[in-house]
Structure 1
Amino acid sequence: MKTFAQKIEEVLKDKNINTVQLAEKLGVSQSLISQWLSGEKRTRKFLKPLADFSGYPIEYFLDDNMETIVQLRSEINDDSDTVYVPFFKDGVVSAGFGAENGDLGEPDLLPFKPEDLRIMFNVSPKATIGIIPCFGNSMEPTIHESDLVVFCHDNQEPIEGAIYVCRYDGELLVKRFKKRPHLALISDNKDYDPIKIEEFLSVGIIGRVVGSYSINSKRF
């Protein structure tokens, strides 16, 4: 098993370069490369340029147990047939969706085929997409507990009746938006009362829900 630090050392050896040169190639600081080598940090937002430069797939750097390098079907770039979608496995996400999430922990990256994103969720592979697990049954039967909720951050005005991942009063929620006769967050499960939005509190829109899917499995 190779650690992330060992894989960085491998890249340095394969390319016959030093840490300063690698930092220049990736557009990062030398101190970050040193942190990688010491095992202090693995900054996922730089994995794509690292994969582009090294020729290894992103999966190779994500999985410490991956001894055999799995070749991608094409080079990892904007025209790749693999799209990596952030997965907030701990349900930690903010309205910033991007750089501002750095203090909330980094997401895992889930690979998708672009055509699967279009077929499953009717979204462009270039859209700003995220995935978050659903806990609780307030959105049943539409979204089931333990489903993975797929949301798109599009900066558009909330749509009446659409489902959103949002933050309200310190809680992370998956609810329908109701604007009339007053602003409220609605559950599809009728056992839950609507949440009327108070004037002194705001709702942080994280993204519009475009679909959900289940990864439940059984082992015998």
Structure 2
Amino acid sequence: MKTFGQKINELLSTRGINTVELASILGVSQSLISQWQNGSKETKKYLPKLAKFSGYPVEYWLNNEIESPNVEQISSTSENTIYVPFFKNGVVSAGFGAQNGDLGEYDLLPFNPEDLRIMFNVSPKATIGIIPCFGNSMEPTIHESDLIVFCHDGQEAIEGAIYVCRYDGELFIKRFKKRPYLSLISDNKDYALIVIQENLDIEIIGRVVGSYSINSKRF
């Protein structure tokens, strides 16, 4: 068994870099790299970057029982699995706006690439995220407590499409209306549209490509 800290030390040694250089490459603080070396597992947010730089799949960094980055166990798994950030502590409002303007830390949810294509018509290489929804302003399209799947493609907002966006320090999930003026509209007609003020910025987090719910019962 090889710990995450030991794997970090091996990476530093094999690449001939120090903790300062690794921190710069990953866009984190040097102190965080030191924490990783000492056993901290607060790593999930940075695993995609770490995997990309090292060339070792996410599974290698997640699983202490995988000691070698070249074992068949990794290659066979990684070919059929990608990890999507799940912002479990963030919420996006289908109502009057989530006071939490920050998406927060995230976990990584495993998906089969083909499932993503079938379920949401998105490429596994796209920048995808998942965040919980509260409020009912997007019903019947999106229900309260649904998990929202969004894709950040960097394209200009599409008239009528649904977006996760940040406006006036709050997070929303709404349709974009460009004419006669820029506004956010709800599918639930009980909610009035939100007109975007000229002196306030609006940030597109991602275009919503789908939603799903996880309902469970215990008896």
TM-score (norm 1): 0.73
Work out which of the residue numbers 76, 98, 106 in structure 2 matches 1:74: 76
Percent identity of paired positions between Structure 1 and Structure 2: 67
Give the deviation of 1:38 after TM superposition. 2.7
Take 1:187 and 1:215, find their aligned partners in 2: how far apart are those partners?
23
Judge which range, 35-44 or 162-171, deviates more. Answer: 35-44
* CA distance 1:215–1:130, change in 2 (3 Å): same
Preserved contact between residue 151 and residue 165 of structure 1 (Cα < 8 Å): yes
Preserved contact between residue 92 and residue 105 of structure 1 (Cα < 8 Å): no
* Residue matched to 1:197: 196
Take 2:58 and 2:163, find their aligned partners in 1: how far apart are those partners?
30
Code of the aligned partner of 1:36:
W
1:115-134 alpha-carbon deviations (Å, 9 max, x no partner): 00100000111111111110
* Residue matched to 2:214: 215
Take 2:4 and 2:206, find their aligned partners in 1: how far apart are those partners?
35
Take 1:20 and 1:32, find their aligned partners in 2: how far apart are those partners?
18
Secondary structure of 1:119 counterpart: helix
Preserved contact between residue 19 and residue 34 of structure 1 (Cα < 8 Å): no
In the alignment, structure 1 segments of 5+ residues that lack a partner are: 94-102
Preserved contact between residue 80 and residue 113 of structure 2 (Cα < 8 Å): yes
Give the deviation of 1:43 after TM superposition. 3.0
* Residue matched to 2:143: 144
* CA distance 1:148–1:59, change in 2 (3 Å): farther
Take 1:90 and 1:128, find their aligned partners in 2: how far apart are those partners?
19
In the alignment, structure 2 segments of 5+ residues that lack a partner are: 24-29, 67-72, 93-101
Take 1:84 and 1:215, find their aligned partners in 2: how far apart are those partners?
18
Secondary structure of 2:35 counterpart: helix
Give the deviation of 1:162 after TM superposition. 0.3
* Residue matched to 2:98: none
Give the deviation of 1:49 after TM superposition. 7.2
Indicate whether 1:34 and 2:34 are aligned.
Answer: yes
* CA distance 1:23–1:133, change in 2 (3 Å): farther
Work out which of the residue numbers 4, 16, 21 in structure 2 matches 1:8: 4
Preserved contact between residue 91 and residue 134 of structure 2 (Cα < 8 Å): no
What is the CA RMSD across the aligned residues, in angstroms?
A: 3.5
Take 1:19 and 1:59, find their aligned partners in 2: how far apart are those partners?
19
Give the deviation of 1:68 after TM superposition. 6.3
* Residue matched to 1:162: 161
